[in-house]
Amino acid sequence: MTQNLNLVVPVDPVPVQPGEHLPDPNPCNVSSLPMTRVDVAKPLVETTTFFEEQYSLVYSARGLQVDVVDVPFVINFTVAPRVREPGAYSRLVVTVRDAESLRLIADEGYNGIYGSAREKSIKLYSPGRYIVTLDGRFVDVRVMMGTEKVNAPG
């Protein structure tokens, strides 16, 4: 088994820009088609986790610098709202930025424009140095970062 070369380190200060407009993730309101059948002949995808942590966020943010060597790079996160009425208070925005320019590359989240699904992921297909920011209000979030490997069934 080869050693994973990806590296994750905390970032301080966290690059959060108050009031920053994030792009609409679905500007054309395209609905997704549910997958109804899994073809057994297709290769299986295996995720190797190299970072896993849980954070409690109450009007706070955490930043992580990630040096990505192996791609595709996957960020999976699971949100647990800490307030009974999640529509009223609990929110999370996960952003991925270029570490040098701080240009927004990808974003996903919980509540607001991101919807109420509690498990989501972001995939990046280019190696490089990124800043991953978890910006939340009244949520507990478990974040796992890893790489995917396709295994042909045999």
pLDDT of 14 over the 90 cut = no
Q: Given a cut of 80, is residue 25 above it in pLDDT?
A: no
**Strand, helix or coil at 6?**
coil
Burial of 78 (0-12, 13-18, 19+ CB in 10 A): middle
For residues 58 and 44, the model is more confident at: 58
**Does residue 56 have a pLDDT over 70?**
yes
Report the pLDDT value the prediction gives residue 119, as an integer from 0 to 100.
96
Overall size of the chain counted in residues: 154
pTM value?
0.72
DSSP 8-state symbol, 112: G
